[in-house]
């Protein structure tokens, strides 16, 4: 991670902005990214330095802003009019700091839910043939990567090595073996089924949970962090609204009704919803487990990951919702 002097020099040289205050931002699950809030005079910016995701996380928001899609903060351009600069092999980018309030930390009003529905509808309506959109990854309903990652964690836990955190994880993992097996089978079976059933693909954020939704005082909402944008069926995004993420940001029928007032009728394919939930649940619990297994990781980060895993493996989070879906 760059020191403050390096960060100040980079931003000044690349963007022509000299900041007076900087605060590291702790929330977020992207281990490949560092994020800061910087102040330059009266202006505030979110600064991101990342080697994860893809350039789509900057190209797409810029294009959506050009198309008039309100609620998507556009990146600040460099002095050379680029959307990011390259620093130590990672992308350095700035965006306006639009709000201090994440939806996951607040109670969204009906107006805000409707605004979020309208925002997602505008995103889903962007033509897939758009030149920037056409460069996005395309959903293929192949869960091979997440299944391999889960199997790798299981194999590593079988060898008996590790510190106290790994030993605790090992017990949780064994206790959750039935749930993990159910998720794995569901992802594999539904993935194969859906590969033979083409569907309409739209621009999907793919991580539109309430931690990535920011709220304004006037009912405005913004959707941030587009690094994993993909062309996929709408269910890829709607899974964060239909039921939400239990244990983190659950969503009930009342909220879905408010959302639908802006989005339109929310119709989901049960198989696709079940598939996306299963893959997401496996991916989340596996990433947390991998963090615990990393001996070079910060102890506080590993302890936080360990605080999440037991609930997921006990079925109290998205994993429980995923195996309870119909369709497989």
- CA pair distance 117, 119, nearest whole angstrom: 5
Does 227 or 222 have the greater pLDDT score?
Answer: 222
DSSP string for residues in 258-323: HHHHHH------HHHHHHHHHHHHHHHHHHHHHHHH-TTS-HHHHHHHHHHHHHHHTTSSHHHHHH
What is the C-alpha separation between 174 and 176, in angstroms, rounded?
5
**Distance, C-alpha 156 to centroid of its chain:** 26
**171-197 per-position pLDDT tens digit:** 999 999 999 999 999 999 999 999 999
SS3 54: coil
Q: List, in order, residues 6 or more apart from 173 with CB less than 8 Å away.
A: 153, 154, 157, 180, 289, 309, 313
Report residue 98: phi and psi, to 5°. -90, -20
pLDDT value for 45: 96
Query: Is the pLDDT confidence value at 30 over 70?
Result: no
The pLDDT tens digits of the residues spanning 304-314 come to 999 999 999 99
- Beta-strand runs (E) in the chain: 21-24, 33-40, 43-50, 85-87, 90-96, 101-102, 202-204, 213-215, 221-223, 230-232, 244-245, 249-250
| Mean pLDDT score across all residues of the chain | 93
Comparing 73-82, 165-174, 242-251, 281-290, the range with the smallest average pLDDT is: 242-251
Q: Give the model's pLDDT for residue 31.
A: 60
Q: State how far Cα 326 lies from the chain centre.
A: 24
Q: Where residue 7 falls among pLDDT bands split at 50, 70, 90?
A: very high
Q: What is the pLDDT of residues 102-135, one digit of tens each?
A: 999 999 999 999 999 999 999 999 999 999 999 9
Could you count the other beta carbons within 10 Å of the beta carbon of residue 90?
Answer: 18
Quote the pLDDT of residue 40: 93
Neighbours of 89 (CB within 10 A): 6
Are the C-beta atoms of residues 256 and 110 closer than 8 Å to each other? no
Question: Hey, is 247 helix, strand or coil?
Answer: coil
């Amino acid at each position: 991670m760059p020191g403050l002097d390096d960060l100040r020099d980079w931003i000044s040289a690349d963007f022509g902005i000299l900041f007076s205050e900087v605060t590291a931002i702790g929330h977020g699950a992207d281990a490949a990214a560092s994020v800061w809030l910087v102040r330059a005079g009266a202006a505030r910016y979110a600064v991101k330095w990342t080697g994860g995701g893809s350039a789509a996380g900057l190209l797409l928001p810029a294009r959506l802003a050009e198309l008039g899609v309100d609620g998507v903060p556009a990146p600040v351009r460099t002095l050379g009019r680029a959307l990011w600069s390259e620093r130590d092999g990672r992308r350095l980018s700035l965006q306006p700091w639009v709000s201090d309030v994440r939806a996951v930390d607040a109670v969204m009003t009906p107006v805000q839910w409707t605004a979020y529905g309208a925002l997602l509808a505008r995103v889903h309506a962007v033509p897939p043939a758009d030149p920037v959109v056409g460069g996005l990854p395309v959903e293929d309903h192949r869960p091979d990567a997440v299944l391999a990652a889960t199997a790798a964690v299981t194999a590593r836990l079988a060898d008996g090595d590790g510190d106290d955190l790994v030993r605790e994880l090992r017990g949780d993992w064994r206790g959750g073996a039935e749930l993990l097996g159910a998720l794995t089978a569901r992802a594999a079976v539904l993935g194969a089924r859906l590969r033979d059933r083409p569907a309409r693909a739209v621009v999907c954020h793919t991580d539109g949970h309430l931690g990535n939704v920011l709220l304004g005082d006037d009912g405005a909402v913004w959707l941030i962090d587009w690094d994993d944008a993909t062309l996929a069926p709408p269910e890829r995004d709607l899974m964060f609204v239909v039921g939400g993420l239990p244990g983190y940001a659950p969503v009930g029928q009342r909220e879905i009704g408010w959302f639908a007032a802006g989005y339109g009728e929310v119709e989901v394919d049960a198989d696709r919803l079940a598939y996306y939930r299963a893959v997401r649940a496996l991916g989340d619990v596996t990433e947390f487990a991998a963090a615990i297994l990393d001996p070079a990781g910060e102890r506080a980060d590993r302890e936080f990951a360990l605080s999440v895993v037991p609930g997921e493996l006990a079925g109290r989070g998205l994993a429980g919702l995923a195996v309870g879906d119909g369709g497989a």
